[in-house]
Amino acid sequence: MGEESKVVLHGMWSSAYVKRVELALKIKGIPFDYVEEDLRNKSPLLLKYNPVHKKVPILVHNGKPVCESLVILEYIDETWPNEPQFLPKESYLRAKVRFWAAYIQQVQDSIAQLFNANKEEVGKALAEVHEKLRTLEDGVKDFYFPEGIPDHIQSEKLGMLDAMMVALLGAFKAQDDISGVKIIDPAKNPLVFSWVQALYRLPAVKETIPPHDKLVGFLQFLKQIGFKVPTSNPVHSLN
């Protein structure tokens, strides 16, 4: 790849926001270099490329940085128009996907609150997660899965919501181990459960999800030091 078309992703291995972008690059077949950032000791390049938020992910293409995961996903889709297309061509459907992508971010916030909750708050926080997942199911089933979720999802047909779901719940088993509860309950959220299981079967998804044991150890460390996962934030932080 020539220097003029080089793609570099600056990220952190455990960041769900980074994983959205990493998966998008892989399923589009876009070669890229990866730079792991230490967000407690931010590199000069990170501060140069994202001087406003000082966070990841950052996609650098042709030497120009693009920040914030949803913005990056749309940039990738527009710059590399090959299949799969992350957003539908029809404007109304495209607007609906954008709406539910923003809603998935709200679910991400609720899962963060579950991580942050003390023992007395876990039940309420988990109920909120399940309720938001039910709302998500009701909202996407007719237009995103008009024929129901298939047993196998083809990588060349993945869309933005699929990338969002992989980042949101791809590591749910590690989250379950840390919280001591079942985040994805097939009885309460059957569509979400089937959706995630179908995505799990894709090689690109398996390659993208953080290693289970490493992630559990990292989340346990964050719990021990009293770290609170930030919410209502479009970018990943470890301040």
* 149-203 residue pLDDT tens: 777 788 888 999 999 999 888 788 888 898 888 999 899 999 999 999 999 889 9
The structure tokens listed for 162 are: 């699929």
Domain architecture of the chain: domains with CATH = 7-79 (3.40.30.10), 91-225 (1.20.1050.10)
Q: How far apart are CA 195 and CA 149, in angstroms?
A: 6
Q: Which of 50, 65, 51, 47 is nearest to 9 (CA)?
A: 65
Q: Tell me if residue 64 falls in helix, strand or coil.
A: strand
**Long-range pairs, 65-74, Cβ under 8 A, ≥24:** 67/235, 68/234, 68/235, 69/17, 69/18, 69/20, 69/21, 69/167, 69/234, 69/235, 70/20, 70/101, 70/102, 70/105, 70/234, 72/20, 72/21, 72/24, 73/20, 73/21, 73/24, 73/160, 73/163
pTM (global) more than 0.85: yes
User: Could you read off the pLDDT of 69-128 as tens digits, one per residue?
Assistant: 999 999 999 999 999 999 999 999 999 999 999 999 999 899 988 888 888 899 999 999
Q: How far apart are CA 207 and CA 194, in angstroms?
A: 20
Contact 24, 63 (CB under 8 A): no
